[in-house]
Structure 1
Amino acid sequence: MDHKHKSHASAAGVLIALGIIYGDIGTSPLYVMQAIIGNAPISQETVLGGLSCIFWTLTLQTTLKYVILILRADNRGEGGIFALFALVRRHAKWLTLPAIIGGATLLADGIITPPISVASAIEGLKMLKLKNGNPMVTDTVPIVMIILTVLFIIQIFGTKIVGRFFGPVMTIWFGMLGLTGILWINNDWSILRAISPVYAFNLLTTHQAGSAGFWTLGAVFLCTTGAEALYSDLGHCGKENIRISWVFVKIMLILQYFGQGAWLIHHEGMLLAGRKPIFEIIPREFLFSGIMVATAAAIIASQALISGSFTLISEAIRLNFWPKVRLVYPSNQKGQLYVPSVNIFLWMGCMGVVMYFKESSNMEAAYGLAITLTMLMTTTLMAYYLHIKKIDHWLILIFFIVYVALEGSFLVANLQKFWHGGYVSLFIAGIIIFVMYVWFRATRIKKVLTEYEKLSDYVEPLKELSKDETIPKYASHLVFMSNAGKMGDIESKIIYSIFQRRPKRADIYWFVHVDTMDDPYTMDYKVTVIEPDDIIKINFKLGFRVEQRINLYFRKVVEDMVARGEVDITSQYKSLNEQNVIGDFRFVVLEKFLSYDNEMPLFDRLIMKAYFFMKQFTNSEDKWFGLDSDAVKVEKVPLIIRPVSKCNLKRIE
């Protein structure tokens, strides 16, 4: 797929960017200032210091690091921590660990994003009063759960139609943020003095316990949690569209935050007591409309996160970081992907978060801890990317030190959230890291210990077997899915399957191998005719974002070969050959299981047992490759990692 059309900005591209990538960061004004003030009386020092921290966080973290620097690290137009890892993984194997930690924490912390966004918006209904003066809504938990449940159900059908409304709705949302913000700034233009970093410095160096002083960074960080998602969605919008749209988004966000700050200073000395500054600055006659727009923006933010999680998992699968779970493509539109198991996992996580924390103010205390680890891992990978691009080492060092210090400070400040709910996202992240590590490690163990033979040694035996009419014909065309990347190699297990398990006579033997490439959208193949009309090997080179549809791709390759006169696929049965009937094709997929006859180190044994335990809940190999089940034979073969060498067995007479 060609991504050149995304290299230049366009009005449509900017609108798409507004609708897709700014949901998380764009809904942060719903809760950030409330989190900064907390339960303490409103003070001018906290408000001005908090605004200064927000301004410089959005400038240094979001604008400089992500919009200007990180977006340069695109993998043929694609972004995200796994796309970045794909660019550098061949240069240093140790970078696998930062990639796993970054991907896992991004997925785990994202479970809190839909609940906190939707809850923050819906809680605005508590401000609406009935004629008798009572709140219109007192308990928002059921409403939040219903909205999120409907959102996850919609995923089954794809989001093509809904997606068309994302851009216009988010444009209205950002316009509302900027307009309501400037109305209050107009009441107190002196609030703009908070742009000075002096106020941030004064707040962060004030020695106060609890959530004040330096610890305010834990709440400030919430204003930039969506920066990682901004990079992940690079492929949907293009860097120029993101950069142009970010100028508008940042201005609107700053106006909103400073408008909230002006309102807060106007109420200095008071307690927020659950009130949300974002709704307080909306004129009362427009409050209901504002809440509805906020809810729509929160739903869009949640949708963007869910879609991003599906993409993240699909990339993880093809990079051998995740089990081969079922992937569904609801429509032909690019980027439309549905992962049933992840959808259920996210829904259960979101329901648990809503029921456990109930209110957005409680969720704030748990939000942001894991995502700081993601950003630190991205910084690590980016520094190495700059290294392989031969950027001056001093510039790389400055980049690394500045952002490790900045994100390290956010991490330390967020650690106070651990006992307030941060442990939830870290626990989930820990489980995901465990799954990713086990799958990656087990895949490497299998790859290293798989035995290969030289295919050239079996050319004559295969030709003889093909001609041996004393053996019933297994298939006209026998196709084996092979792990052997080298054209001249073949697995010992395949040779065993053909000659010994049950002799499989065929007119033509096909061996098909699939390589996952670092380039996201590569779709190439190479054909090696080892023996004309007898033995053929095909190597597919598919990008890590390309759908595995081997049945379709293989048929296309055969059609091309027939058109070129490279192979004759007509049935060799005399009666059928005379009528030019095409011979039957049968696929054989070898599925390994852990043999009892193994003697290996305890750690490897535990890894492999965990791997095979997880494997029973995943797609079978034939379904993963997209093969038609009626033409596939799945053979179970034992994986013997290290045969048992001692056996104290005695013969008695």
Structure 2
Amino acid sequence: MEHKHKSKATAAGLLVAMGIIYGDIGTSPLYVMQSIIGDNPINSLTVLGGLSCIFWTLTLQTTLKYVILILRADNKGEGGIFALFALVRRHAKWLTLPAIIGGATLLADGIITPPISVSSAIEGLKMLHHKDGTPFVTDTVPLVIVILSGLFIFQIFGTKVVGKLFGPIMLLWFSMLGLTGLIWIGQDWSIFRALSPVYAWELLTTHQSGTAGFWTLGAVFLCTTGAEALYSDLGHCGKENIRISWVFVKIALILQYFGQGAWLLAHEGDLLGVRKPIFELLPREFLFTGIMVATAAAVIASQALISGSFTLISEAIRLNFWPRVRLVYPSDQKGQIYVPSINIMLWLGCVGVVLWFKESANMEAAYGLAITMTMLMTTSLMAYYLHIKKVDMWWIVLFLAVYVSLEGSFLVANLQKFWHGGYVSLFIAGVIIIIMWVWFRATRIKKKLTEYEKLSDYIEPLKDLSQDETIPKYATHLVFMSNAGRVTDIESKIIYSIFQRRPKRADIYWFVHVDTLDDPYAMDYKVTVIEPDDIIKVNFKLGFKVEQRINLYFRKVVEEMVARGEVDITSRYKSLNEQNVIGDFRFVVLEKFLSFDNDLPLLDRMVMKAYFFVKQFTHSEDKYFGLDSDAVKLEKVPLIIKPITKCNLRRIE
């Protein structure tokens, strides 16, 4: 897989950025102002203070923190909390915890994004009426479920073709936002006084009737929930394309928010009811068209989130944060990935959210709580990244002081959402955190206590076994997947499998090891010929975003070795050798199971039992490595971490 570091802005790149990066943040005008006003009568303090909060949140949080600062922390052109973690994990082990919490909460809160975006758009249909005054649509739940279900079904086929339409549709969407906002601003230019932070301060520190005071931040935060996704999608179009396109997007968003503010001030004292400010800005004859464009934008926002979730899980697998579930690559487009199990989980979660909350106004009350945790975790990882980059400590302290205070305030304000549905996303996040922590911890326990032997001690025994014609030949080329990173080492279990479990005679023994690197797209390998035409070790060094297609990569390695004259792969059977027939290759993968003969501490015992419980629902090792099933032998071996030493067994005569 070739990765090109995109540093220069291009017209195509700007259009791609428009379609992929800004889905979530671009659809927030559908519900943010409505959430700020709530069920209270429209009043000027809430409108002006809310607009001021929105402007400064988009400026400080989205523009300064993410677009200007955090986009600097790119990992060979890739972004996202796991890419950032890969940059800093070698320097401090404790950073694993914020990475797990951040990834889990991003995935969990994302389950509400598709329902709230699509519902907010579709609910605009309630504003359309027949001639007799009855609304065209009274219940939007079935329509929302149909749209979301269709979107998740479509993931199976990939989004290469439709993806080309994303940019133009989102360009149309942002143009519509900016233009309709500007038209209403033209009726009340004084709305720009809300740019003053004084109005934000007044709203947050005043508790008048009809205002939520400080707790308004919970609704204001919804305008920037897509900032984390903006960083996660860095690899799709590059930082310069994001930074330049953000100028246009931010202007369009500000114009739309302030246009909604002008409309709200014109209706001071009214209750919003089913009316949505974003659709009230549209001329009546364009209302249906506007709703359709909004729905298309909401679907694109949902698609971006789903694709981001798939990418997040694939990265988590390679960083040992997630079980090795099935990964599918539905098209040849770079980065295009489909994870069936996550697709089903997200679909069930989204449908559940729609059925539980029914209306976008109810979803707003639950949205944003978990994502504040993600932003705080990103802040902590970024601060450490600045530290290892030797940035002056005072700048790091300033960065932490500003953003821990800002995001901490958002978190506190969002805590009131817990009983209004925030518990849903936090519960899901908690389950994901437990799975990630168990998987990471269990992997470390296994790695730490796996026994290794010196391969040099078995060179002669392996050569003798290869020449022992009293033992039936197991394969011409026998390939073992090994966890031993050092060229000189080999697992005891592999030696046991070759010599004792069933003597496996072969002409050439291959030992293949895969290292996952912090470089996202590394694709290197090293060959060590330990004994010519007898024992060869291959170490693959693959990035955490690279697909594990070991069967294909190994074939390529063998072809290059043959071309160099380093190995002879023709069959050693006399009749076949004379005809230059290539010898057979057989892979052996050792799959561990937890032995009963273990005496573990309580916590480790619970971790390992949870690990193996989850593992039974995941793919076997051979499927994960992309090996051909007809050429693979899967051997189950007991994992004895700490043998039982006490055994009160007594012999009687």
Corresponding letter in the other structure for 2:260: Q
Q: How many angstroms apart in 1 are the aligned matches of 2:444 and 2:409?
A: 36
Corresponding letter in the other structure for 1:464: D
Q: In the alignment, what sits opposite 1:227?
A: 227
Q: How many angstroms apart in 1 are the aligned matches of 2:130 and 2:269?
A: 29
Corresponding letter in the other structure for 2:13: G
Question: What does 1:142-221 correspond to in 2, within 5 Å?
Answer: 142-207=142-207, 212-221=212-221
Secondary structure of 1:539's match? Answer: strand
Question: What does 1:307-456 correspond to in 2, within 5 Å?
Answer: 307-456=307-456
Deviations 1:229-288 (A, max 9, x none): 000000001000000000000000000000000000111111111211001111101000
Which structure 1 residue ranges, 4+ long, deviate > 2 Å from structure 2?
1-5, 207-211
Question: What does 1:258-269 correspond to in 2, within 5 Å?
Answer: 258-269=258-269
Secondary structure of 1:580's match? Answer: coil
Q: In the alignment, what sits opposite 2:92?
A: 92
Secondary structure of 1:27's match? Answer: helix
267-276 or 79-88: bigger deviation: 267-276
Q: In the alignment, what sits opposite 1:25?
A: 25
Q: In the alignment, what sits opposite 2:290?
A: 290
Q: In the alignment, what sits opposite 1:562?
A: 562
Q: How many angstroms apart in 2 are the aligned matches of 1:208 and 1:506?
A: 83
Secondary structure of 2:130's match? Answer: coil
Q: In the alignment, what sits opposite 2:616?
A: 616
Q: 1:209 to 1:528 in 2, by over 3 A?
A: farther
The alpha-carbon deviation at position 651 of structure 1 amounts to 1.3
The alpha-carbon deviation at position 211 of structure 1 amounts to 6.6
Q: 1:128 to 1:455 in 2, by over 3 A?
A: same
Q: How many angstroms apart in 2 are the aligned matches of 1:210 and 1:44?
A: 10
Q: Would you say the 8 A contact 2:510–2:538 is kept in 1?
A: yes
Question: What does 1:583-602 correspond to in 2, within 5 Å?
Answer: 583-602=583-602
Q: How many angstroms apart in 1 are the aligned matches of 2:144 and 2:624?
A: 36
Is structure 2 residue 520 aligned with structure 1 residue 520? yes
Q: Would you say the 8 A contact 2:70–2:382 is kept in 1?
A: yes
Deviations 1:565-606 (A, max 9, x none): 000111111111111111111000000000000001000000
Corresponding letter in the other structure for 2:628: D
Corresponding letter in the other structure for 1:184: W
The alpha-carbon deviation at position 88 of structure 1 amounts to 0.2
Q: In the alignment, what sits opposite 1:306?
A: 306
Q: How many angstroms apart in 1 are the aligned matches of 2:6 and 2:237?
A: 7
Q: How many angstroms apart in 1 are the aligned matches of 2:198 and 2:584?
A: 77
Is structure 2 residue 494 aligned with structure 1 residue 494? yes
Q: How many angstroms apart in 2 are the aligned matches of 1:255 and 1:64?
A: 19
Secondary structure of 1:165's match? Answer: helix
The alpha-carbon deviation at position 4 of structure 1 amounts to 4.8
Q: In the alignment, what sits opposite 1:469?
A: 469
Q: How many angstroms apart in 2 are the aligned matches of 1:5 and 1:615?
A: 36
The alpha-carbon deviation at position 133 of structure 1 amounts to 1.0
Secondary structure of 2:333's match? Answer: coil
Q: In the alignment, what sits opposite 1:458?
A: 458
Q: 1:546 to 1:150 in 2, by over 3 A?
A: same
Q: Would you say the 8 A contact 2:24–2:113 is kept in 1?
A: yes
Q: How many angstroms apart in 2 are the aligned matches of 1:29 and 1:389?
A: 37
Q: In the alignment, what sits opposite 1:503?
A: 503
Secondary structure of 2:179's match? Answer: helix
Q: How many angstroms apart in 2 are the aligned matches of 1:618 and 1:442?
A: 15
Deviations 1:308-337 (A, max 9, x none): 000000000000000000000001110110
Deviations 1:451-485 (A, max 9, x none): 00000000010011111111111100000000000
Q: How many angstroms apart in 1 are the aligned matches of 2:337 and 2:556?
A: 24
Corresponding letter in the other structure for 1:620: S
Q: In the alignment, what sits opposite 2:124?
A: 124
Q: How many angstroms apart in 2 are the aligned matches of 1:574 and 1:649?
A: 54
Question: What does 1:51-130 correspond to in 2, within 5 Å?
Answer: 51-130=51-130
The alpha-carbon deviation at position 176 of structure 1 amounts to 0.4
Corresponding letter in the other structure for 1:308: G
Deviations 1:351-403 (A, max 9, x none): 00000000000000000000000000000000000000000000011001100
Corresponding letter in the other structure for 2:614: M
Corresponding letter in the other structure for 1:86: A
200-209 or 250-259: bigger deviation: 200-209
Secondary structure of 2:638's match? Answer: strand
Q: How many angstroms apart in 2 are the aligned matches of 1:2 and 1:356?
A: 44
Q: How many angstroms apart in 1 are the aligned matches of 2:620 and 2:339?
A: 16
Tell me the number of residue pairs that the alignment of Structure 1 and Structure 2 aligns. Answer: 653
The alpha-carbon deviation at position 2 of structure 1 amounts to 5.6
Secondary structure of 1:67's match? Answer: helix
Corresponding letter in the other structure for 1:414: N
Q: How many angstroms apart in 2 are the aligned matches of 1:489 and 1:156?
A: 42
Q: Would you say the 8 A contact 2:551–2:626 is kept in 1?
A: yes
Structure 1 residues without counterparts, runs of 5 or longer: none
Q: 1:177 to 1:489 in 2, by over 3 A?
A: same
Corresponding letter in the other structure for 1:336: Q
Deviations 1:521-559 (A, max 9, x none): 000000000000000000000000000000000000000
Is structure 2 residue 47 aligned with structure 1 residue 47? yes
Secondary structure of 2:268's match? Answer: coil
Is structure 2 residue 145 aligned with structure 1 residue 135? no
Q: How many angstroms apart in 2 are the aligned matches of 1:276 and 1:343?
A: 31
Q: Would you say the 8 A contact 2:5–2:76 is kept in 1?
A: no
CA RMSD in angstroms, aligned pairs only: 0.9
Secondary structure of 1:600's match? Answer: coil
Corresponding letter in the other structure for 1:9: A
Q: How many angstroms apart in 1 are the aligned matches of 2:369 and 2:520?
A: 30
Corresponding letter in the other structure for 2:95: L
The alpha-carbon deviation at position 131 of structure 1 amounts to 1.4
Q: In the alignment, what sits opposite 1:577?
A: 577
265-274 or 603-612: bigger deviation: 265-274
Secondary structure of 2:399's match? Answer: helix
The alpha-carbon deviation at position 207 of structure 1 amounts to 3.3
Q: In the alignment, what sits opposite 1:641?
A: 641
The alpha-carbon deviation at position 210 of structure 1 amounts to 9.0
Deviations 1:428-447 (A, max 9, x none): 00000000000000000000
Q: How many angstroms apart in 2 are the aligned matches of 1:343 and 1:208?
A: 45
Q: How many angstroms apart in 1 are the aligned matches of 2:594 and 2:438?
A: 15
Q: How many angstroms apart in 2 are the aligned matches of 1:422 and 1:557?
A: 51
Corresponding letter in the other structure for 1:349: G
Secondary structure of 2:129's match? Answer: coil
209-218 or 615-624: bigger deviation: 209-218
Q: Would you say the 8 A contact 2:43–2:210 is kept in 1?
A: no
Q: How many angstroms apart in 2 are the aligned matches of 1:76 and 1:415?
A: 36
Q: How many angstroms apart in 2 are the aligned matches of 1:210 and 1:92?
A: 48
Deviations 1:40-90 (A, max 9, x none): 111100100000000000000000000000000000000000000000000
Corresponding letter in the other structure for 2:599: E
